[in-house]
């Protein structure tokens, strides 16, 4: 089985790529979704976050105050590292377990979407890496359309490698500036030979 890691800047087409691959029947695991599962009420990671960041991080209903945590970790690299140390090993364990299951089931190809693929040194686990990218202008426009404030955008971008660095490290780049059809065609041309 071939396993591809898919990364890219925030707002640069990772989720769209995920959707397009699933539509083609490619097994995909999204690490952002895994991270959300890990902080559900009752999960050990949530208890660790509460211990590290304080009781106010978890509401009376047992749910994480995601926006408050994001405000803290994207404003301070030290706090971000504490959160990453809690979540990243667990996330990696989950997606590697999923890959093992797909491998045992005889799947020819699988894709793992990891926003911080290169930043976390995960590329060694993949046969190929794919980076989705677009211009900074388009990225900013997409994030503003999501309702993000300019300061939020600046902080999130500062927490990731510059897209040029990710593109240089990736085996393949999917340029998402154009139409959805162009995005899909580029993506399929990469994964089709692997299947």
Mind listing the pLDDT tens digit for each residue in 1-59? 999 999 999 999 999 999 999 999 999 999 999 999 999 999 999 999 999 999 999 99
Q: Which domain holds residue 150?
A: 2-194
The token duo for 173 is 């780049």
pLDDT at residue 38, as a whole number: 97
Interval 89-127: pLDDT, tens: 999 999 999 999 999 999 999 999 999 999 999 999 999
pLDDT at 193: 64
Quote the number of domains for the chain.
1
Residue 194 — pLDDT band, cuts 50, 70, 90?
low
83: domain CATH number?
A: 3.40.50.300
End-to-end CA distance of the chain: 9
What are 123-165's pLDDT values in tens digits? 999 999 999 999 999 999 999 999 999 999 999 998 899 999 9
Confidence of residue 192 (pLDDT cuts 50, 70, 90): confident
Q: Which residues pair with 4 in a beta bridge?
A: 111, 128
- pTM for this predicted structure: 0.92
Task: Tell me whether residue 110 is exposed, middle or buried, using C-beta atoms within 10 angstroms of its C-beta: 0 to 12, 13 to 18, 19 or more.
Answer: buried
Reply yes or no on whether the pLDDT at 195 is more than 60: no
């Amino acid at each position: 089985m071939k396993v591809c890691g898919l990364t890219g800047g925030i707002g640069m087409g990772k989720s769209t790529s995920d959707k397009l691959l699933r539509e083609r029947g490619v097994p995909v695991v999204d690490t952002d979704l895994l991270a959300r599962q890990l902080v559900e009420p009752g999960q050990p990671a949530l208890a660790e976050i509460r211990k590290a960041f304080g009781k106010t991080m978890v509401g009376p209903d047992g749910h994480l105050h995601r926006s408050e945590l994001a405000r803290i970790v994207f404003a301070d690299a030290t706090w971000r590292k504490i959160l990453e140390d809690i979540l990243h090993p667990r996330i990696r364990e989950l997606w590697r377990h999923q890959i093992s299951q797909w491998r045992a089931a005889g799947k020819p190809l699988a894709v793992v979407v990891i926003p911080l693929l290169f930043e976390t040194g995960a590329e060694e686990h993949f046969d190929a890496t794919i980076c989705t990218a677009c211009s900074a202008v388009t990225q900013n426009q997409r994030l503003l359309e999501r309702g993000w404030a300019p300061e939020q955008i600046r902080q999130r971008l500062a927490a990731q490698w510059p897209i040029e660095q990710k593109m240089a490290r990736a085996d393949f780049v999917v340029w998402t500036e154009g139409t959805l059809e162009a995005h899909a065609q580029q993506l399929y041309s990469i994964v089709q030979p692997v299947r």
